[in-house]
Amino acid sequence: MIVTKIKKAGICLLPFTFSLALTGCINTKPTSEQSATRSAVAPADEHFISLNTYRAQSEQTIQDLGLSHTDIESPGTEWRSWDNPSLPEFNLWDRLLQSFKLDLEIDNPRIAAQLNWYKRHPHYLERVFTRAERYMFHVVKEVEARNLPGELALLPIVESAYDPFAYSHGRASGMWQFIPSTARYFGIKNDWWYDGRRDVLDSTDAALTYLDRLARRFDGDWMHALAAYNSGGGTVNKAIRKNREAGKPTHYWALRLPAETKAYVPKLIALAKLVKHAEEYGIKLRHIPNEPYFAAVNTEAQIDLAQAAKMADITINELYLLNPGYSQWATSPNGPHRLLVPVENTDTFKENLSKVPPQKRIAWQRYKVESGDSLISIAKRFRTTPALIRDANQIRGNSIRAGSRLLIPIPKANASHYALSSSQRLKRKQSYDRSNTGGNKIVHYVQSGDSFWLLSRKHKVSIRELARWNGMAPNDPLMPGKKLVIWSKADQAVSNDAKNRKIIRRVGYKVRRGDSLARIAGKFNVSVNQIVSWNKIDKRKYLQPGQSLTLYVDVTRSH
């Protein structure tokens, strides 16, 4: 990548030939007008500029300054910014075009079909490009650093519409859509507090590393590599082998692949063609500045996200959108100890952070342990984890005594304030009115033996619908006690039965002398196997007096 320098007055200028990428040419601190543009939900015409217009304006500026292209030398030393308003701001789209490497002149009906779809849905592209504005500079920069095709910066549009909270029926999560097994292979963390598949930095690093490895595996054939990213390397290898054995061509377009994979590469090629020839296709590209949107700040310890947003002087929703990997009300106690904040708010955040010691970045509440309490039940009540309670109170194992006092980490604001936390996103999804489906809304609490397949048959809905209504994938495990919303299309008898199931409550029970699993099961109208499943205990071992059990009891039945 060539970096150039103007010889006159240290001016930073974009040459008409566009043979360079200027990472240091634009002042990294955006103007108030740029900040307002970033927060706009729908782009206005003044925020767009065609690539041809930009080139023409840049050429005119060179002439107006009395310079020529011979005044530009390479390599340069260091770019210095210049605030002349007559020079159009370098657009990230132009920078991206410089790293395009794929063959975009391919003439294929599958590409044409995808291109026609995008042309018919300009508002979809507006929404996607607006959403991508937070993340795209970082992705472009990382693609360049690895010398990969620039078209890969558009791949999150195909994967997730650049939505870091996207979750697919195949259990893929984040804007790069990692499934759990692939995420584990690349060392991406995933626990109650944090899902690195949604993290902008971690997921982008892993995705580009994966794509680079796939390209090497397929000898530099990016069509094969992209297909493998979607359906797996084994699937593509098998298709290549079958074609080779049958004496057929082995290029991507000739392979027999899953339907989704056959459309996958054409979608990316179509998007790249659209960006490259936007004016020809009548598409206006939202102006995205060629400068970082965010910066990473080391917090050194766990911090409440509501407090962090105040420190950075941004909304908590903006903080979640930049840090979608955090699932709860705070960063993970085990790291990563960092937050991404808008560049223009970085200094404010750092200054305010330095004034608050780590132990005061989380709120604490004293709690007196009651009979029947367990670390799990207390953790659920206060929206935290047993491990964090153990660490805070130096507890070994899971035993706690009634009457003892614990220090519990708690959110600084009410639950609804953390609107993009995992629990609040699920709550909104489950509360969504789907009465237009023709079903009746019921609430079902998962019992031992339940499965998506059984529930879908009972309520006459599809497995995929049932999973989607509850923010899950069809092959996600169903844990006893989990709340499900079902828009049932079954008859009234089933609906009435399901309605009764709404009155299931979680009950903490402390084992008494003489108790057995069978005796407790009979007392609460549940099965022995359910108690074993709910508490993960060995039914061959005796219960101990004082032992805490969790039960899910239908309070409408007599006990």
CA distance 126 to 284: 9
Question: CA-to-CA distance for 205 and 143, rounded, in angstroms?
Answer: 9
CA distance 346 to 352: 10
Residue 442 has φ and ψ, to the nearest 5°, of -130, 160
CB atoms within 10 A of CB 454: 12
Dig out the tokens for 346 from the structure: 């970085």
Contact between 54 and 279 under an 8 Å Cβ cutoff? The reply is no
Report which of 280, 276, 324, 262 is spatially closest to residue 131, judged by C-alpha positions.
Answer: 324
Answer yes or no: are the C-beta atoms of 548 and 512 closer than 8 Å: no
Between the alpha carbon of residue 85 and those of residues 1, 15, 52, 57, 88, the distances in Å are 27, 16, 19, 12, 7
Question: How would you class 86 by CB atoms within 10 Å of its CB: exposed for 0-12, middle for 13-18, buried for 19 or more?
Answer: exposed
What angle is formed at CA 377 by the lines to CA 372 and CA 382, rounded to 5 degrees? Answer: 130
Burial of 110 (0-12, 13-18, 19+ CB in 10 A): middle
CB 346 within 8 A of CB 207: no
CA–CA dist 506, 372 (Å, integer): 12
For residue 338, how many other CB atoms are within 10 A of its CB?
15
List, in sequence order, every beta strand (DSSP E) within 308-387.
Answer: 338-342, 363-368
Name every residue whose Cβ is closer than 8 Å to that of residue 496 and which is 6 or more positions away in sequence.
none
User: To which H or E segment does residue 530 belong?
Assistant: helix 528-535
Active site residue 159: yes
Greatest distance between any 2 Cα atoms in the chain: 98
First to last CA, the chain: 75
- Identify the active-site residue in 159, 291, 318, 465: 159
CB 224 within 8 A of CB 243: no
Using the CB atoms, write b or e for 519-531: b if 16+ within 10 Å.
ebbeebebbeebb
Give the list of residues 6+ apart from residue 230 with CB closer than 8 angstroms, or none. Answer: 260, 261, 264
What would the two tokens of residue 199 be? 């993290």
Contact 399, 386 (CB under 8 A): no
Helix (H, G, I), strand (E, B) or coil at 181: helix
Residues labelled catalytic? 159
